[in-house]
Structure 1
Amino acid sequence: MFAAPGPAQNAQLGRLLTAPIRIERATPVTTLPLEARGDILFVQASANGEAAEFIFDTGSPTVLSRQFADALGLEAVAQNTGRDANGTEITMDFAILETLSLGTAVFHDVPVLIHDFSDLDMGACLVSAGILGSELFPGSAWRIDTEAGQLSFAASLDEMAAFDPVATTHLYDFGYPHAPIVDYSVGDVSDKALFDTGNSAWVALFTEVAETVSVQQEILRESIVTGTGFEGESAGGRGEAGALTWFTLQNFRLDHDTLGPVRATTRAVPPTLVGAGVLSGYVVTMDYPGEQFLLEARSEPAPAREEPGYALALVGDAVEVAQLFDGSAAADAGLRLGDQVIALSGRSMVVSAGNSKCSIARSLIESFDASQGADLTIMRDGIASTISIPQH
């Protein structure tokens, strides 16, 4: 969800960012429930003894909501300016969290960023206490298993149950925020990617990589789908609307291990991402002590999801068509980018006393599947009409 911050502006904090976080382990392996709602992963944890729900996002440093940080009485020790995942410059406070308890493990003196999510359209409703991210990863091997609904970690891979990886590549740690960076290649292009569960795609190629001749030769031409819309919301809000492209790569490699055809998209801001989509087919292990990134095949891949051809999102207090793809059933039915949706298959999308903004946002994330077909009542130029989109 969020990109790494810039250089810290405080010497004390700088020392804390370079020192390893002390981890107190009551058991060799810590395992806790991992819940997927839509494409977002959630875990339960306790910060300074206060239990709360957090988003688990490998592509983000740990960020506490301003409201939660104030409730804990955290004081800022520095400010930091960096860029979010859409490339927007943003300034956040830094604080030190004395303890963060995850299952049977306790992390001590964790540097955390503090951000007011209330200005975001969707994020304000999805981020409760905050986001747990990558500065927690060094010193442990982490296994993410959405099939079992579990997040596990231990001091070494040897402590964990044996498994048979189908793909392995080097895992890099370039210092705070210790983001998981891996080697990948497509065609003749070899590069580094961020493993980012805050992005729903299997692969999101940096545009300049996707446009190289070698990568273009790996794209199945009949698989290309184009459209217009927003890439997503990050800490600084929503980026500009632009061209969207989805396609199938014939081969995507982690080091020398080929993963076969992979559905991919592009992104305007580097780096390339390996996103949460990989979890539909694999259990992912980030072995920081062993400097390995490993994929194990799930016992049953998640059912393939149809691409719906459009997406809805809150923009201010209104639900709008945020993405629309050419030649889709939605486009053929007459839907337009920016249409305001006031009802969705009979459910009101209008914010009111009995229909809060956050209940609408959660319904879009957790239960709405555009590929199943829907009746959208839209408001366009002051006139209400209903557009029926058939199931794929």
Structure 2
Amino acid sequence: MRLFYKVITILLFCVTTVQVGAQQYKTVLPYRMVGGKMIVDMIMNGTPRSFIFDTGGRTALTGEICEELGLEVVDSLVVTDVNSNEAVYPLVLIESLLTPDEKINFRNVPAMKLSKPSPFECFHTDGLIGSDLFVRTIVEIDGKAKTVTITSAENPSTASLRKMLPFVRAGMPIISLQAGVGNAITCLFDTGNPTFLSLKDTDFEALRSAAALEVLSEGYGEGSIGVTGMADADVSYRVRFPLLSVGSTKFKNVDSETSIPPYTLLGVSLLDYGKVTLDYPRARFYFEAYEQENDLECKHYNVGLRVKDGELVVATVWRAMKGQVEVGDKVIKINGKPVGRYDFCESIINGIPELKVKKKTKLTIQTRQGEKVIIYQKE
């Protein structure tokens, strides 16, 4: 298992066109999954670099790589992060962003310069590639083959129009899903989100009133990490949709947790169930499902954990553990054995080995009232 950790998403609120080195083009870009993120390789200004592929974001570079390459600031941009916080970031220009097969060369690409230290350090990447890079292209993402196919858009996708949903907003893969019958949800397809669905709090309130979902548990915990930092701890809900439809494809028992992004997020886990094609110029989202009906029923841990300053701490407390432990309490023993120091990045990518051994794990927690033993388990 992986620990509780929600990493940065930079939402795209400004679409910038770029020049591509050929009139007609096609390239197949392999990707690999690292800690729930899609990682692709590109050649930036003549040097191979790795990037997070993030359809919910805009192209950005770490402060470290900008300084290493001596990239000058040319402008600034206001962005809204995953916690709906706004911040102004400087813009730099990437002279050349070339695919590894050298078939497509994006030139003079505007990119946000992020603050140091790098938010992408754990993924060993120098930034992220966002939807703004692909506004003139068609992008096909195949989760089975682990490839991103980028083509010029003289002709529309060959996918059936019956599998198509229109973008709600041009330039961004924002679409409308159906919860149950007659309950629309506006969602951003965000490959930077490692879950299947992350539910915006205001959408939650509306859908709960319409009886389109059921509340599984109420929790209290740390918020998501965005470009402006971590959101304050707050109440969240774990919910289940008996039925959620992506076009004609039905998903049963879809679980989600509430948060405060500008949109409900349809995450990268959708690629486990079908191929996604984004026709940016025509503002079309296609979902070619492997199966027309899918049951996503699963169980969830009663507390969320994360590594902070080398220690394993409680990040979220769900209803079953309310009054037992609090956010920030430290785990001092696992199955009776004292814990060591943990590496933050390793915990994100591979999890904590001791927590993978059994379905039920005995945790000794240091609380304000003293040591307390709890059973860490799914329910």
What is the TM-score when the length of structure 2 is the normalising length?
0.81
Counterpart CA distance in 1 for 2:39 and 2:353 is 12
Structure 2 partner of 1:170? 166
> Greater CA deviation, 196-205 or 361-370?
361-370
Corresponding position: 1:112 with 2:119: no
> Quick one: structure 1 residues 182 and 205, their matched pair in 2 at CA, closer, same or farther if it must change by over 3 Å?
same
Aligned length: 366
Aligned-pair CA distance for 1:109 = 0.9
Aligned-CA RMSD value: 3.7
> Greater CA deviation, 226-235 or 66-75?
226-235
Over residues 262-306 of structure 1, what are the superposed CA-to-partner deviations in whole Å (9 max), with x where a residue is unaligned?
A: 333322343222222322222211111332101112479899764
* Partner SS, residue 73 of structure 2: coil
1:325 is aligned, of 318, 321, 336, to 318
Structure holding more strand per residue: 2
Instruction: Give, as a single letter, the amino acid of the residue that structure 2 aligns with 1:116.
Output: S
> Quick one: structure 1 residues 83 and 265, their matched pair in 2 at CA, closer, same or farther if it must change by over 3 Å?
same
Is there any run of 5+ residues in structure 1 with no aligned partner, and where?
8-16
Aligned-pair CA distance for 1:108 = 0.8
Aligned-pair CA distance for 1:164 = 5.9
Identity %: 22
What is the TM-score when the length of structure 1 is the normalising length?
0.78
Equivalent residue runs for 1:284-323 within 5 Å: 284-298=276-290, 306-323=299-316
Structure 2 partner of 1:203? 197
Is there any run of 5+ residues in structure 2 with no aligned partner, and where?
1-7
> Quick one: structure 1 residues 113 and 131, their matched pair in 2 at CA, closer, same or farther if it must change by over 3 Å?
same
2:233 is aligned, of 227, 241, 252, to 241
Instruction: Give, as a single letter, the amino acid of the residue that structure 2 aligns with 1:240.
Output: D
**Alignment check: 8 A CA contact 2:65 2:126 kept:** yes
Instruction: Give, as a single letter, the amino acid of the residue that structure 1 aligns with 2:250.
Output: L
* Partner SS, residue 117 of structure 2: helix
Structure 2 partner of 1:232? 224
Corresponding position: 1:263 with 2:255: yes
> Quick one: structure 1 residues 332 and 242, their matched pair in 2 at CA, closer, same or farther if it must change by over 3 Å?
closer
2:275 is aligned, of 283, 287, 301, to 283
Structure 2 partner of 1:337? 327
Equivalent residue runs for 1:128-207 within 5 Å: 128-156=125-153, 167-174=163-170, 178-186=171-179, 187-190=181-184, 192-207=186-201
1:274 is aligned, of 250, 261, 266, to 266
Counterpart CA distance in 2 for 1:155 and 1:172 is 22
More RCO (CA 8 Å, sep 6+): 2
Structure 2 partner of 1:216? 210
Aligned-pair CA distance for 1:372 = 4.3
* Partner SS, residue 32 of structure 1: strand
Structure 2 partner of 1:364? 351
* Partner SS, residue 118 of structure 1: coil
Structure 2 partner of 1:81? 78
**Alignment check: 8 A CA contact 1:31 1:103 kept:** no
1:64 is aligned, of 61, 64, 70, to 61
Counterpart CA distance in 2 for 1:365 and 1:320 is 12
Over residues 126-146 of structure 1, what are the superposed CA-to-partner deviations in whole Å (9 max), with x where a residue is unaligned?
A: 363111111112111112222
Aligned-pair CA distance for 1:61 = 0.7
* Partner SS, residue 351 of structure 2: helix
> Quick one: structure 1 residues 358 and 275, their matched pair in 2 at CA, closer, same or farther if it must change by over 3 Å?
closer
